[in-house]
Structures are given as C-alpha cells and as structure tokens.
Structure 1
Amino acid sequence: MKFEYENSFEVKHKIQERKIAILPIGAIEAHGPHLPLSTDNILAERLSEKLAEKVHAFVLPTLPYGQVWSLRDFPGSINISNESLISVLVDIGTSLYKQGFRIWAIVNGHLGNQPALKDAARVLYDQFQDFKVFYFFYPGMNAILKDVRETQSVHSTYFHACEIETSIMLYLAEEHTNMDKAICDIPDIPESADFTPTPWQKFTNTAVLGDAILATKEKGEKIVETAIEKMAAMLRSAKDEIA
C-alpha cells in the first residue's frame, strides 16, 4: 500500500495497524548503455512493493538521490553528500516515529548509500530505542551469486550494470532493460581503489563492471526472491517483538 495516496483522516489508524514503513532509496547515475540512469530507484521501488505485500506494510515515496561520488562525473549522474543523505534520513525517520511507526525498513538499490544509511540508523537508535530501523541491500545475495554467476566478479563488493544487476532488472523491470545494447566490460580495478578515493573513470568508461550479456531473468529471480524472504523474515520478527 502506497503511503502517499492515503488521506490524513484515515491514515492514523492504518499506521497503528501496520506499524511498518518501507522507504525505497536509490540514485541517479550511469548504468552503461543498456540500463537507465534510474536503475537503482526502479529496483528499490519494485523490491519495496514486493516486500510490502509480504509484511502488510506501507511503501513511502522513493528517495531518488544518493551518494554517487564514484560515478559523479559520468553523464547523467547526480550526487549528494553522505552528510546530506544522513540528515534527510534522520528527519524522515523522526517524522515516521512521531507519526506512530515503530519499524522502518530502508530498501536500498545503491550500494554507495549504505554508509549513510547505517549512520542515520545509529542516530535514530540513540534517539528512539523502541524504533527499529533496517537498512537492507539484497540480503542473502552472496550465497546465491555462487550458484548463478557465470563470470568471475571484478570486485569483492561491487556489482554494477553487469551480469548480476542486469539480471535483477530483467526480473523486476524488463521493460526498462535493453539487452540489444548490453555489453561486456571487465575492467581491471586496482587494489588501491579500496584504500584511497578512486573515481570510476580511472578504470572504466562505460560504468559496466562485468558481462551484462550473460544476464537472465532466472538469475535475477533467484537473487530477488531470496532477498525478499530474508527481509520479510526480519520484519516479521521485529513486528512480533512489539506486538
């Protein structure tokens, strides 16, 4: 159920009944020639909608901008700072708490947002210890990748516009995926990139980190459905604790 379409006369009772708010958050950034700039937003929204059905929750309007420092100089990318993102998230969380929500699930479509999400959740924890905040980014993915990936990962953490993310898009938003333009770009990411600020144009001019041509809807389904079940289980447990 989408929160933005509720009205002020009826929403208070529904908040008390549901208790869970889900916020999709993504980014606007380069995703190669075959995926749109809003890929992370689309994925966060579709994941949130699926999750909401499982746990009877409200889905908040998407927060569409994220910390995309690494890709900020690629055409189309829009970057906001960690500090700005933390501030906005704390303000939103505070408002949700005052409205009566006691569980807030932030469903993240962009890995670069995770540090800010974690810091914002810690601030809210210190302020409202009966407010449970989750910051989800495809839980359970690592185990599934061992089964579905056909190519070796170019990085221990990153996946971007590649076999994996494109597969997720094919499953959740095939209408926004142009496989005729999918490419294989396997960059050599230096080890130093994990230890010093390194804009991605230092090692790629496409923003694709792998072989997007190998993407399939079936791979995406395994990743997504695993994440949905894990997120739903954690939210149900949290809801049971406050019941």
Structure 2
Amino acid sequence: MEFQYENSFGVKGKIDQSKIAILPIGAVEAHGPHLPLGTDNILAERLSKKIAKRVNGLVLPTLPYGQVWSLRNFPGSIHISNRSLIAFLVDIGESLYKQGFKTFAMVNGHLGNQTALKEAARELYESCPELHVFYFFYPGMNKAAAEIRDKNASHTTYFHADEIETSYMIYLAPEFVEMEKAPADIPDIPAYVDATPVPWEDFTGTAVLGDASIATRDKGKYIIDIALENIVNILESFGEIE
C-alpha cells in the first residue's frame, strides 16, 4: 500500500491496522552506460513494495537523494551530506511516531547511505524509544552473491552497476536496463581506498565495478529473494508482523 495515495480521512485507520512504515531510500548517481541515474531509487522502491505485501506495511514516498561523495564528479550525480540525510531521516521518523507508527523500516538501495541511516536510527532510539527503527541493505547478499557470481568481485564491500546490481535491475526493473550497452569493466581498486577518501574517477571511468555483461535475471532473483526473506524474518523476530 502506497502512503502518498491515501487521503487524510482514511489513512489513520490504515496506520492503526499496519503500524509499519517502509521508506525506500536511494540516490541519484552514475551507474554506467546501461543503467539509469536513479537505479538505487528504483531498486529500493521495488523491494519496498515486495516487503509491504509480506508485512502489511505502508510504503512512503521514496527519499531520492543520498550521500554519493565517491561518485559526485560523474555526470548526473547529485550528492547530499550525511548531516543533511541524518536530519531528514530523524524528522521523518519523529513525524511517523507522532502519527502512530510503531515501526520505521528504511530500505536502502545505496551503500553510501548506510552510515547516515545507522546514525539516524540511533538518534531515533533516544527521541522515540517506543519506535522500532530498522535500516536494511540487502541483508544476506554477500553470501548469496558469492554463491552465484561468475566473476570475482572488484572489492570485498563495494558493488556498483556490475554483475550483481545489474542482475537486481534485470529482475526488479528490466524496462530500465540496456544490456546491449553493459560493459565488462573490472577496475584495479587500490588497497588504500579503505583507509582514505578516494574519488572513484581515480580508478574507474565508467562507474562500473565489474562485468555487467554477465548479469542475469536468475542471479538477481536469487539474491533479492534471500534479502526479502531475511527482512521479513527480522521484522517477525521483533514481533512487528501481526
């Protein structure tokens, strides 16, 4: 159920029936020649709708901008600071709490947002102690991806517009994928990127961190289905689903 299409006269009853607000959070940034700038938004939205069906949740309008410092110099990328993102999320969470929600589930499509989401959740833990706040980023994906990858990852943490993320898109939003343009770009990422800020244009000219040309729907479905089950199980374990 999409929150923005409800009206003020009927929404209170639906909040009382659900108590779960789901916020898709993404970013606007370069994703190579084969995926759109809003890839992270699209993925967060599509996954959020799947979650909502399983947990009787209300999907909020997508928060479409994120912390994209690493890719901010690529054409089309729009960067906001962690400070801005944290403040925005805390304000949203506190408003949801006042509206009667008991659970605030942030579904993140962009790894760069995770620091801000975690900090916002900590602030909400203090200001809204009865509100359960979750920040989800494809839980279980690392193990699942390792099982089905055809090529090794460029980095142990980063994945971007590559075999994995492109597979997500082919599964969840194939209408936005141009596979005929998908590159096989496997950059040599220096070890120091884990210890100091490094703009990604220093090691990639495409913003693609792997072989996108070998992405498939089956790979995307395998990982997304695991992430979906893990999210539902986590919410169930906290008694969020009635």
**Alpha-carbon spacing, 1:200–1:16, altered in 2? closer, same or farther (3 Å):** same
Residue number in structure 1 paired with 2:221: 221
What whole-Å deviation, never above 9, does each CA across 1:204-229 have from its counterpart, x for those lacking one?
Answer: 01000000011000000001000011
The alpha carbon displacement at 1:237 in A equals: 2.7
The alpha carbon displacement at 1:138 in A equals: 0.3
Residue number in structure 2 paired with 1:162: 162
Q: Determine if the alignment matches structure 1 residue 142 to structure 2 residue 136.
A: no
The alpha carbon displacement at 1:108 in A equals: 0.3
The alpha carbon displacement at 1:142 in A equals: 1.3
The alpha carbon displacement at 1:233 in A equals: 1.3
Residue number in structure 1 paired with 2:231: 231
Return the TM-score normalized by structure 1.
0.98
Equivalent position amino acid for 2:62 in 1: T
The alpha carbon displacement at 1:238 in A equals: 2.5
Q: Determine if the alignment matches structure 1 residue 125 to structure 2 residue 113.
A: no
What whole-Å deviation, never above 9, does each CA across 1:77-109 have from its counterpart, x for those lacking one?
Answer: 000000000000000000000000010110000
Identical residues among aligned pairs (%): 64
Q: For the residues of structure 2 that align with 1:61 and 1:201, how far apart are their CA atoms?
A: 31
Give SS of 1:117's match.
helix
The alpha carbon displacement at 1:143 in A equals: 1.4
Equivalent position amino acid for 2:235 in 1: L
The alpha carbon displacement at 1:240 in A equals: 4.8
What whole-Å deviation, never above 9, does each CA across 1:38-84 have from its counterpart, x for those lacking one?
Answer: 00000000000000000000000000000000000000000000000
- 8 A Cα contact 2:103 2:240, kept in partner: no
Equivalent position amino acid for 1:78 in 2: I
Q: For the residues of structure 2 that align with 1:11 and 1:146, how far apart are their CA atoms?
A: 42
Residue number in structure 2 paired with 1:204: 204
Residue number in structure 2 paired with 1:188: 188
Q: For the residues of structure 1 that align with 2:87 and 2:134, how far apart are their CA atoms?
A: 17
Question: What is the alpha-carbon root mean square deviation over aligned residues?
Answer: 1.0
1:45-124 residue pairs with structure 2 within 5 A?
Answer: 45-124=45-124
Q: For the residues of structure 2 that align with 1:66 and 1:49, how far apart are their CA atoms?
A: 20
Unaligned runs of 5+ in 2: none
- 8 A Cα contact 1:103 1:238, kept in partner: no
Unaligned runs of 5+ in 1: none
- Aligned pairs, number: 242
Q: For the residues of structure 2 that align with 1:34 and 1:140, how far apart are their CA atoms?
A: 26
Q: Determine if the alignment matches structure 1 residue 11 to structure 2 residue 11.
A: yes
Return the TM-score normalized by structure 2.
0.98
What whole-Å deviation, never above 9, does each CA across 1:170-226 have from its counterpart, x for those lacking one?
Answer: 000000000000001111111111111100000001000000011000000001000
